[in-house]
Amino acid sequence: MTPLLAAEAARHPYPLLFATVSGAHLYGFPSPGSDFDLRGVHLLPLEEIVGLDDAREAVEVSGIREGVELDLVTHDAAKFFRLMLKRNGYVLEQLFSPLIVSTSPAHDELKDIGRACITRYHSHHYLGFAATQWKLFEKETPPRVKPLLYVYRVLLTGLHLMRSGVVEANLLTLNEEYRLPYTGEPVARKLAGPEQSVLPAADLAFHRGEYDRLVRQLKEAGAASPLPAESTAARPRLHDLLLRLRLTRA
């Protein structure tokens, strides 16, 4: 898929700081029908920033290329940098995704700054995301595999981040350390089945207990984390990077 994804990134109307693969492919459980979610950062030219017309802070492109469904979403650097300062784990996962489609020297610098953005309060992002996915899993009959895997993925990502300061979004990689054996069957079902595959024999009481246990662990890890409460050093560095990028493209 690499040439196909690279060609999609190359068609972008603005220069890209980076484009990476997110979604199920990053998380380690794409189904055969999963689309490719490309996420990244573009740089608007100065004339579009200072002019009267509304700037394209977001570019969204969806389509089918050679039989493959692609979804590309990028944000202008200023918007993405602000999101990085808002304890948003989702944008950090995009930034640190190892599935790189397009990169630049600014991408490397941005990852370095991104490490300074991580705080113990990023735990709230993962707790909130997990709660949303758990409600989705619990209310559907029969329950779907996807939201259950998202529950475990985001809780382990948050737990790992609080303990290590490292953004890791792949459930299979995380499970090498946290060892949740009961995720194996849902992952296998998702990898082999349709995107909306279900768990006809799901033990809801068991998964509720595990969800509650991991939520408690994440809350405790957030409270005890050595990570700082605020990312005070990141903002001036992001500001400086943005100015340099804008001026060099003027």
pLDDT at position 238, please?
A: 98
Q: What confidence tens digit (pLDDT) does each residue in 71-118 have?
A: 999 999 999 999 999 989 999 999 999 999 999 999 999 999 999 999
Q: What confidence tens digit (pLDDT) does each residue in 184-194 have?
A: 999 999 999 87
- Please name the residues in contact with 111: beta carbons below 8 A apart, sequence gap of 6 or more: 95, 96
* List of domains in the chain: 2-118+231-248 (3.30.460.10), 122-224 (no CATH)
Separation CA 29–CA 116 (nearest Å): 29
Mean pLDDT for the stretch of residues 143-148: 93
Residue 1, pLDDT > 70, answer: no
**In one letter, which amino acid is 155?**
L
Over the chain, what is the mean pLDDT? 94
Other beta carbons within 10 angstroms of residue 194's beta carbon come to: 13
Closest CA to 153 of 187, 117, 120, 185: 187
Lowest mean pLDDT among 9-23, 187-201, 226-240: 187-201
| 8 A C-beta contact, residue 118 and residue 161 | yes
Separation CA 24–CA 190 (nearest Å): 10
